[in-house]
Structure 1
């Protein structure tokens, strides 16, 4: 539960920072030289929506066993990590990684890669928990009523 609260806080803060600087987000994402123009705007909308969805879900329902926010968190983490790794490997100069929009800016480098790696580790932990929940035997409470047709 603590992990979900921490991740919910981080992802909600990321989304709020990106929303507050939405006009700059397409240009920030275009610096990774993967998308530009309308595609960069669509990517910004996708990232922000995903961050808000799972961030708020983790904060408001940290004990939820729903798989959707875990998969959304994993998808957003993969997108950010993919952008960072390919940009780093190509030697791009990215002055602002964009994680918090125009706030708390960091240039693309090892610290960003480590942070993205940690997000992926956390995604693995969350996915493992979801898988364990899905494979756990279901037990019925003695006070559960079963109506027959």
Structure 2
């Protein structure tokens, strides 16, 4: 339960930081050199919406056994980790990882990669815990 609330708060903060930074998000994502400039606002919008939806769901319903917010969180974590790993492997100069938009800026380096790895580990823990909770709830329901 506490992991869902903490990760929900982090995801919501990321989404809010990026939403407030909307005019800069295309430039922030452009540093990753992942596609044409016309795609970047769409990627930013999808990330922001996913972060806010998943984060608020996890934050406001920490006892829920719903898998949807967990998969949203996992998708966001995989996206940011994928952006970071490919940019790091290509030795791209990313001055702001963009996780919180213009706020809490970090230069892409090992520390950001470790943070992304932790987010992926938490996604795995969250998926496992949610599946176990769902199985327990189903067993309790069928026992009645």
TM-score range, shorter chain: over 0.9
8 Å CA contact 1:9–1:59 kept in 2: the answer is: yes
2:63 maps to 63
Tell me the distance in 2 between the aligned counterparts of 1:27 and 1:21.
10
Higher helix proportion: 2
Structure number with larger C-alpha Rg: 1
* CA-CA distance at 1:5 after TM superposition: 1.1
Structure 1 stretches lacking a partner, 5+ long: 145-149
8 Å CA contact 1:18–1:102 kept in 2: the answer is: yes
1:124 maps to 124
Alignment deviations for residues 30-71 of structure 1 (CA, whole Å, 9 cap, x no partner) = 110002322111110111111101110111100011110000
Tell me the distance in 1 between the aligned counterparts of 2:8 and 2:141.
31
Bigger RCO of structures 1 and 2 (CA < 8 A, at least 6 apart): 2
Structure 2 stretches lacking a partner, 5+ long: none
Which of 124-133 and 54-63 deviates more?
124-133
SS in 2 for 1:33: coil
Q: CA RMSD in A?
A: 1.6
Report the number of matched residues.
143
8 Å CA contact 1:10–1:55 kept in 2: the answer is: yes
8 Å CA contact 1:29–1:35 kept in 2: the answer is: no
8 Å CA contact 2:18–2:48 kept in 1: the answer is: yes
